[in-house]
């Protein structure tokens, strides 16, 4: 998405590819969802759009305060990490030995990492071992980008977040045409010409199963009209393999802001035999959660403008 001038809400709806019935609902302030073409059999892709009753500047300032987790029900806690020493930020993660024991039943990591975690847990140092694994994953990602992501092992074939996220990047090109945004989405974080755009964050998230650690790479880019935020989860606990959410905020001629989420979540749980039915169920579950998040976002936007 590029912004050369302020658009009417109707023009924004057309640019996002909404159908007639969806356009009417969008213009009335409803949260509208649209299923996107999947890039592989693990891809649960959805577009979610709405209109917020506040300005782009207000939304950008709020996002800069690292408060997005406040409207995400599944996120229990978050913290910042310094790429030069991610272990320091991870000291604040509330990860218990009981959580590690539960996560070890289905360790979503490489075989080497799982072995290290079992050894640490057996010695009563499971949380410390887990944080060490997260530290090494963070360093590898920051220095090498997507190519630094280690595939998951032991829970089925094709569990390679690196490949999934590369597909998500390619899909993003269809929706976002701004060359600056393109460069930053594809950049290796440590080599970006605009390092201030890139942040790292740890989180504890609970979806359908267990509370588990996640690692987030957040890219936030302000342009002349509007802004884009990319949240890339390159390490995602147990409920899914990885995800990338592209959030765009576009100013409209009536002084409001149109917000769209392009959510690409990849889950091996919906691949393989019976995958079509599982993907349908998975999309319905994800859709309900995203609608809930967007409605909370609308309420937050109202508070900003009051």
Cα–Cα distance, 85 to 135 (Å, whole number): 8
Q: Are 9 and 24 within 8 A, CB to CB?
A: no
Q: Would you state the pLDDT for residue 1?
A: 46
The enclosing domain of 18 has a CATH number of 3.30.530.20
Residue 181: how many other CB atoms lie within 10 Å: 23
Cα–Cα distance, 136 to 31 (Å, whole number): 39
| Token duo for residue 5 | 């001038």
Q: 207 lies in which domain range?
A: 9-305
Q: Would you state the pLDDT for residue 281?
A: 63
In a domain, 17, yes or no: yes
In a domain, 270, yes or no: yes
Per-position pLDDT tens, the chain of length 306: 444 556 777 877 777 777 778 888 888 888 888 888 888 888 888 888 888 888 888 888 888 887 777 777 678 899 999 999 999 999 999 999 999 999 998 888 888 999 999 999 999 999 999 999 999 999 999 999 999 998 888 545 557 899 999 999 988 877 777 888 889 999 999 999 999 999 999 999 887 678 999 999 999 998 777 888 999 998 877 778 899 999 888 888 887 888 888 889 888 776 654 556 666 767 777 778 788 888 888 888 888 877
In a domain, 3, yes or no: no
What total number of domains does the chain contain? 1
- Return the closest-CA partner of residue 268 out of 169, 171, 156, 166: 156
Residue 150 phi, psi (nearest 5): -85, 135
In a domain, 1, yes or no: no
Query: Among the residues of 187-274, which ranges form H helices?
Result: none
In a domain, 193, yes or no: yes
Cα–Cα distance, 182 to 176 (Å, whole number): 7
In a domain, 2, yes or no: no
Query: Among the residues of the chain, which ranges form H helices?
Result: 9-15, 20-27, 56-64, 86-90, 97-103, 111-122, 126-144, 161-172, 179-186, 275-305
CA 114 to chain centre: 24
Q: Would you state the pLDDT for residue 279?
A: 63
Cα–Cα distance, 198 to 193 (Å, whole number): 10
The SS3 of residue 16 is coil
């Amino acid at each position: 998405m590029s912004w050369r001038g302020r658009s009417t809400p109707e023009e924004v709806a057309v640019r996002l590819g909404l159908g007639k019935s969806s356009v009417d609902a969008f213009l009335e302030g409803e949260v509208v969802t649209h299923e996107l073409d999947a890039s592989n059999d693990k891809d649960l892709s959805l577009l979610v759009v709405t209109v917020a009753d506040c300005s782009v500047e207000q939304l950008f300032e709020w996002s800069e305060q690292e408060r997005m987790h406040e409207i995400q029900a599944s996120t229990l806690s978050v913290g910042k990490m310094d790429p030069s020493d991610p272990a320091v930020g991870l000291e604040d993660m509330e990860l218990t030995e009981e959580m590690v024991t539960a996560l070890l039943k289905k360790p979503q990591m490489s075989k080497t990492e799982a072995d290290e975690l079992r050894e640490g847990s057996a010695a009563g140092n499971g949380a410390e071992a887990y944080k060490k694994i997260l530290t090494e994953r963070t360093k590898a990602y920051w220095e090498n980008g997507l190519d630094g992501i280690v595939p998951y092992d032991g829970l089925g074939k094709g569990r390679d977040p690196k490949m999934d996220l590369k597909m998500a990047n390619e899909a993003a090109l269809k929706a976002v045409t701004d060359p600056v945004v393109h460069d930053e989405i594809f950049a290796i974080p440590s080599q970006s010409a605009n390092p201030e755009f890139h942040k790292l964050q740890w989180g504890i998230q609970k979806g359908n199963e267990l509370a588990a650690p996640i690692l987030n790479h957040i890219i936030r880019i302000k342009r002349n009209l509007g802004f884009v935020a990319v949240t890339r989860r390159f390490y995602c606990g147990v409920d899914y393999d990885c995800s990338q959410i592209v959030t765009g905020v576009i100013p409209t001629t009536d002084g409001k802001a149109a917000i769209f989420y392009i959510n690409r979540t990849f889950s091996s749980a919906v691949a393989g035999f019976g995958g079509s039915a599982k993907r349908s169920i998975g999309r319905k579950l994800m859709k309900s959660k995203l609608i809930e998040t967007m409605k909370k976002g609308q309420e937050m936007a109202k508070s900003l403008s009051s």
